[in-house]
C-alpha cells in the first residue's frame, strides 16, 4: 500500500512538474514599432513575472512593422500604427481583438541645459525651425513613423525645401536624441516616448494642428500559436495598470 502511494506521489509530482514546465516555457512573440519600445520594456517583464510566460519582443520601424504584419510574418501579438485598413484587409489579425493601446506625439528636444524654445503654436514652431542651425529626426526613408510624421508636418507648414540644408537624418529616434545630446544638432524631433537620452531636455509635443499623434493598436494574430496566451498579453498591456506606464512615457492611453 505504501509502495503504491509512493508511486502515485512520484507520478503526480512528475505530472505537475511537466505542467509547470510547459507553462513556464510558453513563448509569446510580439512585434511593435519603436514608439512602443519604452513602455513595453517595462510591461513585458511584469507580464512574464505574473504569468510565467515568456515574451520574445521584436522592435522595428513603424512602416516596417506594419509591412511584416501585412505580409503574414508569424507573430502572436502585433502592435501596429494607424491607419489600419491594410492590416485588417491582410487577414493576418483577429479583427475582433483590436485593442487601442496608446497614442504618442512627435516632440521637440534640446541639449540639456539649453533654453527651451516656444512651440506652443504652429507659427512658433515654424519660426523655430527656420532659425535653427541643425535639426535631427528619424529618417522617414527607413520607415520610422516619427520621421514620416514630421516630414508631413514640414509639408503642412510649407518649409520642407527651406530647411533641407539644416536637416540631419538619424537612424531612429534614439539616434536623433543622441545627436542633440552630443551637440551635433540644435533641435531634435521624435516620438516623446523615445526621448530617454539623459543629455537632452524635452520641450514638449508639437501642436496637434500640424502634427497628429500616432495611435498604436494591438491585435491577436490570426496565426497565433496560443491565442489564449496572446490575448492575455494583449489584455495586460491595455490594462489600467499599463495606462500608468504609458502616461509616464509621455503617451496618452487608449485611442
| DSSP letters for 43-69 | HHHHHHHHH--EEEEEEE-HHHHHHHH
pLDDT at 25: 61
pLDDT at 165: 96
pLDDT at 7: 45
187-191 and 135-138: which strand pairing? parallel
pTM reported for the whole predicted model: 0.83
Residue 186 CA to residue 37 CA, distance in Å, equals: 25
100 contacts 84 by C-beta, under 8 angstroms: no
Domain ranges in the chain are 2-102+215-253, 106-205
pLDDT at 254: 85
Grid cell locating 222: 490570426
**106-205: which CATH architecture?**
3-Layer(aba) Sandwich (3.40)
pLDDT at 46: 97
Kindly give the confidence (pLDDT) of every residue in the chain, 255 residues in length, as a single tens digit, with 9 standing for 90 and above: 444 444 444 344 444 444 444 444 689 999 999 999 999 999 999 999 999 999 999 999 999 999 999 999 989 999 999 999 999 999 999 999 999 999 999 999 999 999 999 999 999 999 999 999 999 999 999 889 999 999 999 999 999 999 999 999 999 999 999 999 999 999 999 999 999 999 999 999 999 999 999 999 999 999 999 999 999 999 999 999 999 999 999 999 986
Residue 95 CA to residue 88 CA, distance in Å, equals: 7
φ, ψ of residue 134 to 5 degrees: the values are -145, 145
pLDDT, tens digit (0-9, with 9 covering 90-100), for 86-99: 999 999 999 999 99
CATH number of 2-102+215-253: 3.40.190.10
Residue 243 CA to residue 39 CA, distance in Å, equals: 10
Which helix (DSSP H) or strand (DSSP E) does residue 138 occupy? strand 135-138
| Equal fold, 2-102+215-253 vs 106-205 | yes
Q: Give whole-number Cα distances, 183 to 164, 169, 186, 199, in Å.
A: 19, 15, 7, 9
Place of cell 504569468: 51
Amino acid at each position: 500500500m505504501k509502495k503504491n502511494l509512493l508511486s502515485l506521489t512520484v507520478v503526480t509530482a512528475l505530472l505537475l512538474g511537466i505542467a509547470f514546465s510547459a507553462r513556464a516555457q510558453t513563448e509569446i512573440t510580439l512585434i511593435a514599432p519603436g514608439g512602443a519600445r519604452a513602455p513595453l520594456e517595462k510591461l513585458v517583464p511584469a507580464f512574464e513575472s505574473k504569468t510565467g510566460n515568456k515574451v520574445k519582443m521584436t522592435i522595428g520601424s513603424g512602416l516596417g512593422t506594419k509591412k511584416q504584419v501585412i505580409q503574414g510574418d508569424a507573430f502572436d501579438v502585433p502592435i501596429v500604427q494607424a491607419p489600419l485598413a491594410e492590416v485588417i484587409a491582410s487577414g493576418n489579425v483577429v479583427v475582433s481583438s483590436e485593442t487601442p493601446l496608446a497614442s504618442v506625439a512627435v516632440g521637440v528636444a534640446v541639449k540639456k541645459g539649453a533654453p527651451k524654445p516656444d512651440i506652443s503654436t504652429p507659427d512658433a514652431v515654424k519660426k523655430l525651425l527656420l532659425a535653427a542651425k541643425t535639426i535631427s529626426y528619424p529618417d522617414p526613408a527607413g520607415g520610422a513613423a516619427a520621421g514620416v510624421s514630421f516630414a508631413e508636418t514640414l509639408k503642412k507648414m510649407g518649409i520642407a525645401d527651406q530647411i533641407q540644408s539644416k536637416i540631419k537624418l538619424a537612424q531612429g529616434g534614439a539616434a536623433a536624441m543622441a545627436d542633440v545630446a552630443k551637440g551635433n544638432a540644435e533641435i531634435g524631433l521624435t516620438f516623446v516616448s523615445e526621448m530617454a537620452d539623459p543629455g537632452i531636455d524635452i520641450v514638449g509635443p508639437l501642436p496637434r494642428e500640424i502634427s497628429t499623434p500616432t495611435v498604436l493598436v494591438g491585435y491577436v494574430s490570426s496565426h497565433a500559436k496560443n491565442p489564449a496566451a496572446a490575448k492575455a498579453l494583449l489584455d495586460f498591456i491595455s490594462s489600467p495598470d499599463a495606462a500608468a506606464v504609458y502616461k509616464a512615457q509621455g503617451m496618452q492611453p487608449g485611442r
